[in-house]
């Protein structure tokens, strides 16, 4: 049971790689952190299968990795609350955080780490959920190496889609980009690079109507031309969605500065515009978006919170 009248040193919001790494560092530094796990305990990795780029583990299930990191934080004394934050008040100190519902008393803290991550945007078409991690992915950097000499569909027309397409050509794949608009929206240099690759084909004015499979894995897609309404099947072994990510920052929007997409703006790696509130992971990172980088940000945020609290206490 977490005390509501006590002013805690540190509350960490989110239990993905960023929040859990922050928890290990903070617990080891005797800050007795409270971690509010949120709607997706363990974060995005729990929803994928094998991770092949976590240092020290050639291959590990995402859910197993996150369980290990959580146990590591528990070992050093971190306390977990299996609820979601519903509102916050950062206007005065101590900071107030409501979890579960707004009827219960707020948790009070001298410092906060926000590590609420991001949610990839989805197509919401038939087959997408069924073949999630069985050919459907939102992370080419993560899952691309699983496909070589295959037929790949990439959905999107921005820089991420172009980067994904170029990355996936390294494995001798045949790639089809499906773009909803009449042209690509990526930077010209990225477009030029993609257009120079004969193994990449682009279909415009179109979307994916359905993802097909054999119950084990993706086998194809149905592409719909939104101008003519004509549909066509296309064989595919994998579908990478590159249609954007939504940083989970809405709860904090009235207090913290964000960019156009909703990433919380930071200075000095982890500092928000309010002293004592630190940010880590995909909720502020629009560039790297990897488990190891999120964990790195979590480490930095915990060290910065520790320094901030030390200065407040004059130690
Ligand atoms: C399909 C897929 C495969 C991937 N594969 C790899 C890979 O192989 N290797 C790799 O390095 N990276 C991979 N990634 C990327 C990696 O998962 C992310 O970069 C990483 O998880 C970001 O960590 P995070 O802690 O910032 O956020 P997240 O993992 O997104 O965690 C966010 C946390 O915040 C919590 N939260 C959200 N809202 C609230 C709230 N209101 N109150 C409390 N908590 C809240 C959630 O419950 C969650 O615990 C993959 C991503 C996807 C989608």
The pLDDT tens digits of the residues spanning 220-263 come to: 999 999 999 999 999 999 999 999 889 999 999 999 999 999 99
62-75 helix and 17-28 helix, angle to the nearest 10 degrees: 20
Q: What is the rounded average pLDDT of the residues 75-103? A: 94
Hey, what are 230's tokens? 């004509």
Q: What's the rounded Cα separation, in Å, for the pair 208 and 233?
A: 10
Active site residue 89: no
Give the distance (Å) from ligand 1 centre to CA of residue 224: 31
Query: Of ligand 1's atoms, which has the minimum distance to the CA of residue 41?
Result: 49
Range 203-207 contact pairs with CB under 8 angstroms and sequence separation of 24 or more: 203/176, 203/177, 203/178, 203/179, 204/179, 205/179, 205/180, 205/181, 206/178, 206/179, 206/180, 207/123, 207/125, 207/155, 207/178, 207/180
Q: What is the rounded average pLDDT of the residues 124-152? A: 94
Active site residue 299: no
Looking at residue 87, its pLDDT comes to: 95
Q: What is the rounded average pLDDT of the residues 77-93? A: 97
Give the distance (Å) from ligand 1 centre to CA of residue 291: 7
Q: What's the rounded Cα separation, in Å, for the pair 251 and 84?
A: 11
Looking at residue 236, its pLDDT comes to: 98
- pLDDT band, very low/low/confident/very high, at 187 (cuts 50, 70, 90): confident
Percent of all residues in the chain with a pLDDT value above 70, rounded to a whole number: 99
**Active-site position among 9, 64, 89, 143:** 143
Query: Of ligand 1's atoms, which has the minimum distance to the CA of residue 119?
Result: 30
Looking at residue 242, its pLDDT comes to: 95
Looking at residue 5, its pLDDT comes to: 79
Q: What's the rounded Cα separation, in Å, for the pair 136 and 129?
A: 8
95 vs 190: which has the higher pLDDT: 95
- Whole-prediction pTM: 0.87
Active site residue 142: yes
Q: Would you tell me how many other CB atoms lie within 10 Å of the CB of residue 161?
A: 27
Looking at residue 315, its pLDDT comes to: 64
Looking at residue 103, its pLDDT comes to: 74
User: Which of 97-106, 149-158, 173-182, 196-205 shows the lowest mean pLDDT across its residues?
Assistant: 97-106
Residue in 11, 15, 16, 123 to alter for ligand 1 test, most ligand atoms within 8 A of Cβ: 16
Q: What is the rounded average pLDDT of the residues 301-315? A: 93
**Active-site position among 139, 164, 285, 299:** 139
Percent of all residues in the chain with a pLDDT value above 90, rounded to a whole number: 87
Give the distance (Å) from ligand 1 centre to CA of residue 118: 6
- pLDDT exceeds 70 at position 288: yes
Q: For ligand 1, atom 39, which residue shows the shortest CA distance?
A: 38
- pLDDT band, very low/low/confident/very high, at 129 (cuts 50, 70, 90): very high
Q: For ligand 1, atom 38, which residue shows the shortest CA distance?
A: 116
- Radius of gyration in angstroms for the set of CA atoms belonging to the chain, rounded to a whole number: 21
Q: What's the rounded Cα separation, in Å, for the pair 37 and 80?
A: 7
Query: Of ligand 1's atoms, which has the minimum distance to the CA of residue 19?
Result: 25
Looking at residue 271, its pLDDT comes to: 98
Answer whether 178's CB lies under 8 Å from 153's CB: yes
Mean confidence (pLDDT) of the chain: 95
């Amino acid at each position: 049971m977490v005390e509501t009248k006590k002013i805690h040193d540190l509350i960490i919001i989110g239990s993905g790689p960023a929040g859990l790494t922050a928890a290990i560092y903070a617990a080891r530094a005797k800050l007795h952190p409270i971690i509010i796990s949120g709607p997706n305990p363990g974060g995005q990795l729990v929803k994928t299968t094998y991770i092949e780029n976590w240092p020290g583990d050639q291959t590990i299930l995402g859910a197993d990795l996150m369980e290990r990191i959580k146990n590591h934080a528990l070992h050093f004394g971190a306390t977990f609350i299996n609820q979601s934050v519903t509102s916050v008040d950062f206007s005065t100190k101590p900071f107030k955080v409501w979890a579960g519902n707004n009827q219960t008393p707020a948790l009070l803290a001298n410092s906060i780490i926000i590590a609420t991550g991001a949610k990839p945007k989805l197509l919401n078409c038939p087959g997408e959920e069924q073949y999630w991690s069985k050919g459907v992915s939102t992370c080419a950097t993560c899952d691309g190496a699983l496909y070589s000499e295959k037929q790949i569909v990439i959905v999107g027309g921005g820089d991420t889609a172009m980067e994904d397409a170029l990355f996936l050509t390294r494995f001798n794949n045949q790639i089809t980009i499906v773009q909803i608009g009449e042209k690509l929206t990526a930077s010209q240099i990225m477009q030029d690079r993609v257009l120079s690759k004969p193994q990449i084909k682009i279909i415009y004015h179109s979307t994916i109507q359905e993802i097909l499979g054999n119950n084990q894995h993706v086998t194809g897609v149905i592409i719909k031309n939104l101008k003519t309404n004509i549909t066509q099947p296309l064989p595919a072994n994998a579908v990478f969605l590159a249609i954007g990510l939504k940083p989970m920052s809405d709860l904090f929007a009235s207090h913290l500065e964000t960019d156009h997409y909703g990433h919380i703006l930071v200075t000095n790696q982890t500092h928000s515009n309010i002293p004592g509130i630190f940010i880590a992971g995909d909720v502020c990172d629009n560039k790297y978006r990897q488990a190891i980088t999120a964990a790195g940000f979590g480490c930095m945020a915990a060290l910065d919170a520790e320094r901030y609290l030390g200065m407040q206490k004059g130690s």
